[in-house]
């Protein structure tokens, strides 16, 4: 079975996806998932990377093949492109090939929603999104599933993109520092390679979803953001292998998100929390399984 981007969009239900991501991350932290850190090959001209992300979870196994080419921004091509291959863990037979770009966009936001629900203040009022692309839109939709915000702010390096996002969502377009000051929850979803979010701008009680930077060079948050924060990740091994924010600042990891969701570790008491998102294979495999099963059930009904 081959499922295109349009198929995935049609079959994907955000509430179901958030629930599937919860189960996947709990299983990951409980040691029930076979998942090595991803293998990454880099290209020089143009700069980009190609990664292999395999995992075995329950009755399925699979791998996402993903490319990231930042210079595609502003062209008809997406910066992120991917394919997910799904197999039976019992027989090894191929089950489905799915477009991975759409799954990546939504599963990333679904996990940020879980992190926000778990870590942000229950009386959070102001949500700030830094960036105005695909991830900005999926994060806006996903976070609304777990919390109702009174005010939405957006900042982008491209003013026309910020204006378009604001028109779609009702967000206030603001300068970077103004958008950050006073925000209760901040989602950083940019392609920045250098830290631009300053700790000096943050209010005392704040939660940050740091999504846009992957690798030991690119980062979105400066050391002042990381200092004193309770840092939560999907997988410790992945974070130590791929997060410049964590490694460069020597910030200790408080917990994996799955540990907090399973309540095997208590919620942090720190006034500042950072969820560092990198994306792990079990999320892709679990999302692919969810969508494949829905497609299979519709095929049997037809």
The ranges assigned to domains in the chain are 2-103+282-301, 118-279
Least Cα distance to 219 among 180, 277, 273, 178 occurs for 277
For residue 78, what pLDDT is reported? 86
Residue 167 neighbours by CB under 8 Å, 6+ apart = none
For residue 301, what pLDDT is reported? 66
- Same CATH topology for 2-103+282-301 and 118-279: the answer is no
Phi-psi category of residue 282: left, alpha or beta, with phi > 0 → left and psi -120 to 50 → alpha:
alpha
Options 3.40.50.720, 1.10.3720.10, 3.40.50.300, 3.40.50.1240; CATH for 118-279 is 3.40.50.720
**pTM of the predicted model as reported, rounded to 2 decimal places:** 0.94
pLDDT in tens, the chain (302 residues): 999 999 999 999 999 999 999 999 999 999 999 999 999 998 988 888 899 999 999 999 999 999 988 888 878 888 889 999 999 999 999 999 999 999 999 999 999 999 999 999 999 999 999 999 999 999 999 999 999 999 999 999 999 999 999 999 999 999 999 999 999 999 999 988 899 999 999 999 999 999 998 888 899 999 999 999 999 999 999 999 999 999 999 999 999 999 999 999 999 999 999 999 999 999 999 999 999 999 998 877 65
Give yes or no for a contact between 79 and 73, defined as CB atoms under 8 angstroms apart.
yes
Token pair 């037809």 in the structure block, residue: 302
DSSP secondary structure letter of residue 35? -
For residue 302, what pLDDT is reported? 55
For residue 94, what pLDDT is reported? 97
d(CA 299, CA 152): 40
Give 22: exposed, middle or buried? Use CB within 10 Å, 0-12, 13-18, 19+. Answer: buried
Give yes or no for a contact between 267 and 118, defined as CB atoms under 8 angstroms apart.
yes
Beta bridge pairs of residue 130: 155, 188
CATH number of 2-103+282-301: 3.30.1780.10
d(CA 20, CA 12): 12
d(CA 64, CA 112): 20
């Amino acid at each position: 079975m081959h499922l295109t981007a349009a198929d995935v969009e049609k079959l994907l239900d955000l509430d179901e996806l958030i629930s599937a991501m919860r189960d996947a991350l709990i299983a990951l932290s409980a040691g029930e998932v076979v998942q090595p850190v991803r293998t990454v090959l880099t290209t020089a001209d143009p700069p980009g990377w190609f990664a292999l992300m395999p995992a075995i979870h329950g009755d399925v196994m699979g791998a996402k093949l993903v490319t990231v080419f930042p210079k595609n921004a502003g062209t008809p091509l997406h910066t992120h492109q991917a394919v997910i291959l799904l197999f039976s863990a019992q027989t090894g037979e191929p089950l489905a090939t799915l477009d991975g770009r759409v799954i990546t966009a939504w599963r990333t936001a679904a996990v940020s929603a879980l992190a926000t629900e778990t870590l942000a203040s229950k009386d959070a009022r102001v949500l700030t999104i830094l960036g105005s692309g695909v991830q900005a839109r999926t994060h806006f939709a996903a976070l609304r599933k777990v919390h109702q915000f009174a005010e939405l702010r957006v900042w982008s390096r491209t003013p026309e993109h910020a204006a378009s996002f604001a028109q779609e969502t009702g967000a206030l377009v603001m300068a970077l520092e103004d958008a950050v000051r006073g925000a209760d929850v901040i989602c950083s979803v940019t392609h920045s390679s250098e830290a631009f979010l300053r700790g000096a701008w943050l209010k005392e009680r704040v939660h940050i979803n740091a999504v846009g930077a992957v690798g030991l060079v690119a980062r979105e948050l400066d050391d002042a953001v990381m200092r004193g924060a309770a840092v939560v990740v999907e997988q410790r091994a992945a974070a130590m292998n791929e997060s410049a924010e964590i490694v460069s600042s020597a910030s200790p990891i408080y917990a994996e998100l799955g540990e907090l969701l399973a309540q095997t570790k208590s919620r942090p008491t720190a006034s500042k929390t950072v969820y560092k998102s990198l994306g792990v294979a079990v999320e892709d495999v679990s999302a692919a399984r969810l969508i494949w099963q829905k497609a299979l059930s519709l095929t049997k009904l037809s």
